[in-house]
Structure 1
């Protein structure tokens, strides 16, 4: 897609992100632009003993994302039964200090939330769901204990009932069995711990599935799962083994969504899912019992991110047919944001990444997520300059509770020495909002013209400084955007005319 064609799309498309029948359509003003930041990207050996350097790394990534006009960070806070935040359920990760359970003297999640909200970015806490240890050595004692240390009986077992050990095909993870209710309840307690203590915008699950190779190894024939499968209480619908295991994952997803809805209904829930839903080869439905379509159909997830880390010409998992398949299945009033491999540029050039971004838009999917921040290290400028040349809000989720914010009031604008200051007020809920600041050379401002968005502010802002005003007269208006993406009407338009410095 050329830049000129893109302009036509974004300037004349409707402001809605769904049609009446629930099919997703791309609009320039509403596009999720996310990036994953893994725990390894802020806990390298160089950063581990230097919290200020780790904070600087997080801040630098977030500021680059902001400069590239992105709007969402998916920040990892749980890897394998450990915590990168002050948890009362699981121990501090050993990646922070080399010692499991040792307080690192800072809180990565709290810091990340503050930085993201300062920059107008959503912060989604990334939780690896069922892995509960990693590597060949067992966890050491800690307070609270790692769940693998405390409950080795939770471990996924093969067809002979033998517990899995660390496994390179599974990224050396040891997983807890989804078929054990105590496992699911433990992970729910992790989620509740996070959402009650921290002002996150979302919970994002990864590894929300059985391990790789499950059909081959017979995962998970742990004694609890087998007993429940064979009982009327544990399998009331008399499902076969594969569908029963899918239902264990489904039950966890439904319970987690219900927990968020009951506790903080504005918090969004999402999941990384296998890039190919079903069929031959590496798929979510057939190989790891992950039925993401069912979650959307049941309205128990807000968006999914299929991890499609392959080029368009891949022989078995080509990018465009896979996103087409997800688009065709996305008819349940929920969003699909394909996950793209940022390091694809190292093998195929930036043109491949850019073509995939265009394909996502051409196929009507309202957003995307890059894996990962480290892979964009050399390409942030190209991303912002070429793929995201205008600001965009995260797509609105009308199923989330709340009402559209009132338009900001008491707006004013002035210019001194070519620098304009725009100020406004937005009531008691202003700390919950980001603000779209619009600028035009004409007194009429069209909120559907994405190129009239001068900036999107940080959370709770009450003013913006426009250092590009120069000697021209400009017209400004402001709109509030709530956590669900609902945008207010524009404030009254105000004029900033240059004044000489006093």
Structure 2
């Protein structure tokens, strides 16, 4: 049966027919200057009959993040400039080779980045194709990467969680990037950068969506719904990019706060409320479409420092609550998440944010709830010299990695480990650690 996303959450009423929207896009593409805003049609999603009871994954997760933004882990750069047939073959071979190696290593869950920015790694009716595949935003790669990894991983008995970066539009603000985004105006679908320029802000030297705009949250939710409705994904994950700013590139949401922030004591409280609303409606939408799909978030490892909040951890560092305006602890307590995967990217010896202190703090948070806890481990630091964290280079980083895995497996509240990220398994500095993982997890 076919149901509209309006059944799940409020979206702006479409005042024009599809023909008028198409005409507007055509006329706009002829204009010298992109329009300020165009209505983005949200397509309906097809909901398949599902069991009434949710089936929870009770196994221990041994996971890996596989990043596609900037082609960090996949696809291989050399494939982009190849002919169409060769490109497809190279990208698919690279992915199956990775899955084979991950399977041998004992990895059972891949967190695959399907939305690295405002583009897609599946044939979306909302987002244009990702340029990571072909070098050009909107160019059809000739196959469906999401369906391909689902088929190949499931054949190997591995799970796949679709990893979304919710608000990022681009990784930079270069003139060449602006030109490339503007060129999508004649595409169907075009980039949100040109369809809703009034939604776009700059923060962290990137183009991002303004989280305070209700239509933005609805649009993001519709993208998640499209994937959950169409694909047999095992889970959906948001990363830690909610409100993302740097000291030299802050998000200018003053006007948005004036429009929508009435009744809030501070902009910070209003921002946390906006992030809360996104998590609530995405969680609700996923469960209404398919209760068997797990929804999780992978936030920064520190929720709040105890010096700011007695409920916080005994740490001194950037906190998701204060920096990203994400009250991640509350989401666990309210049952909005099936799992949380905090990025505890420090060793036992890092006094400002000890691995064991944070792992135990999160274990206490999830203990009275039904939310599962997976710990994100900084595999990218293994073998890398650091004055503040020398343990990563002692005996190839194996003793530190062993301590972290031992702790995870010793605590009943911790249901798994996720390594960041896949391509570091192939680096020479991690060879000893990979050999250790193979003996510990491998088949």
- TM-score norm. by structure 1 comes to 0.65
Aligned partner of 2:439 among 371, 380, 385: 385
CA–CA distance in structure 2, aligned partners of residues 311 and 33 of structure 1? 19
CA–CA distance in structure 2, aligned partners of residues 150 and 133 of structure 1? 15
State the shift of 1:165 in Å: 5.5
On the 8 A contact 1:341/1:370 being kept in 2, the answer is yes
CA–CA distance in structure 1, aligned partners of residues 250 and 65 of structure 2? 32
Aligned partner of 1:277 among 264, 286, 303: 303
User: What is the root-mean-square deviation of aligned Cα atoms in Å?
Assistant: 2.0
Judge which range, 288-297 or 41-50, deviates more.
Answer: 41-50
The question of 1:145 aligning with 2:173 is answered no
Give 1 or 2 for the bigger CA radius of gyration.
1
State the shift of 1:148 in Å: 2.0
The CA deviation string for residues 179-201 of structure 1, in whole angstroms up to 9 with x for no partner, is: 10111011111111111221111
On the 8 A contact 1:65/1:380 being kept in 2, the answer is no
CA–CA distance in structure 2, aligned partners of residues 218 and 36 of structure 1? 28
1:351 alignment counterpart:
399
The CA deviation string for residues 380-437 of structure 1, in whole angstroms up to 9 with x for no partner, is: 4431312x267xxxxxxxxxxxxxxxxxxxxxxxxxxxxxxxxxxxxxxxxxxxxxxx
Shift in CA distance, 389/217, structure 1 to aligned 2, threshold 3 Å: closer
State the shift of 1:208 in Å: 4.5
The CA deviation string for residues 220-270 of structure 1, in whole angstroms up to 9 with x for no partner, is: 52423321102xxxx4xx453212211110110010011011111111111
Gaps of 5+ in 2: 1-57, 306-315, 385-391
Higher strand share: 1
CA–CA distance in structure 2, aligned partners of residues 316 and 375 of structure 1? 25
State the shift of 1:57 in Å: 1.5
The question of 1:117 aligning with 2:154 is answered yes
- Aligned-partner SS, 2:297: strand
State the shift of 1:68 in Å: 2.1
On the 8 A contact 1:47/1:54 being kept in 2, the answer is yes
1:298 alignment counterpart:
334
Shift in CA distance, 362/121, structure 1 to aligned 2, threshold 3 Å: same
Aligned partner of 1:226 among 241, 258, 269: 258
The question of 1:366 aligning with 2:415 is answered yes
On the 8 A contact 2:199/2:209 being kept in 1, the answer is yes
1:375 alignment counterpart:
424
State the shift of 1:70 in Å: 2.2
Shift in CA distance, 277/335, structure 1 to aligned 2, threshold 3 Å: same
Higher helix share: 2
- TM-score norm. by structure 2 comes to 0.73
Shift in CA distance, 269/37, structure 1 to aligned 2, threshold 3 Å: same
Report how many residues are paired: 342
- Aligned-partner SS, 1:133: coil
State the shift of 1:317 in Å: 2.1
The question of 1:46 aligning with 2:78 is answered yes
State the shift of 1:321 in Å: 1.1
1:451 alignment counterpart:
none
CA–CA distance in structure 1, aligned partners of residues 162 and 250 of structure 2? 31
- Aligned-partner SS, 1:275: coil
On the 8 A contact 1:271/1:304 being kept in 2, the answer is yes
Shift in CA distance, 91/218, structure 1 to aligned 2, threshold 3 Å: closer
- Aligned-partner SS, 1:74: strand
- Aligned-partner SS, 1:358: helix
- Aligned-partner SS, 1:131: coil
State the shift of 1:152 in Å: 2.4
On the 8 A contact 1:344/1:353 being kept in 2, the answer is no
CA–CA distance in structure 2, aligned partners of residues 381 and 62 of structure 1? 17
2:274 alignment counterpart:
248
